[in-house]
Amino acid sequence: MPRLTLWLVVVLVLAAAATPPATAALLESFDGQQREFDYFALALQWPGTYCRRSRHCCPSNGCCRGSNSPTVFTIHGLWPDYNDGTWPGCCSRSSFDPKEISTLTNVLEQYWPSLSCSSSSTCHGGKGSFWAHEAEKHGTCSYPVFRNEYDYFLAALNLYFKYNVTSVLNEAGYFPSNTEKYPVGGIISAIENAFHASPLIVCSKDAVEELRLCFYKDFKPRDCAVGSDIKIDMVTSKGSCPRYVSLPELGSVRHDGLQSWISDDVTL
């Protein structure tokens, strides 16, 4: 997607930020039982890998939108994590309120869509939307950096646009393909050169499934790697990726559950 288009979206998001909801109490009820997190991980999912596992269509599945389906990395979540490799979860007794992020919904639908038809688990024994899961499980643990769900979602969007992984890989020559394999070290280097920090990559077999960027609490980039393993292992989720990986083209999911592949000329 052209940089100009992304920056226009950023302007819209910032405009929405000027008039936040009057009340957004999801994170304000932080129960204080969980120790404070150390850093944020912005988890991005590659739709070409996720969507090829889809077997059914529904209104909530971003894979089923035809020409409007995502062809760029989309947001999985903004996750508070610990330096020891663990993470907190479900740090509030409150429930997700979709009205609090109503001014962000259009942007979230495009850049933070669900890529399945399954309902997500919530922190109180129920099922809900993809956003409800992320807000309750991860967003509530971002206190005291964020005290409401609106600020949490807005920050994730702004990080996503500022650190545009899709454009970085495009400029480095990495495009969606069902035939090409790319050196995982080259993908890592492209991100490091752009953001001056090491990402973490998660693969499904030889396909990139997720790419995570990590940030200090002031949102400056930091390495995702922890521990003393060799660098490739640290930034590929303990070696979950082979040396050469693919970025599968987006598959379109038909209502009969079968898949077809869209044109080869789709770019990152």
Q: Which of the residues are catalytic?
A: 76, 134, 138
Instruction: Report the C-alpha gap between 224 and 169 in whole angstroms.
Output: 18
Instruction: Report the C-alpha gap between 43 and 217 in whole angstroms.
Output: 16
Instruction: Report the C-alpha gap between 201 and 219 in whole angstroms.
Output: 20
DSSP-derived letter for residue 246 is B
DSSP-derived letter for residue 70 is -
- Collapsing DSSP to helix, strand or coil, 77 comes out as strand
Instruction: Report the C-alpha gap between 157 and 255 in whole angstroms.
Output: 30
Q: How far apart are the first and last CA of the chain?
A: 7
Tokens of 47: 């739709």
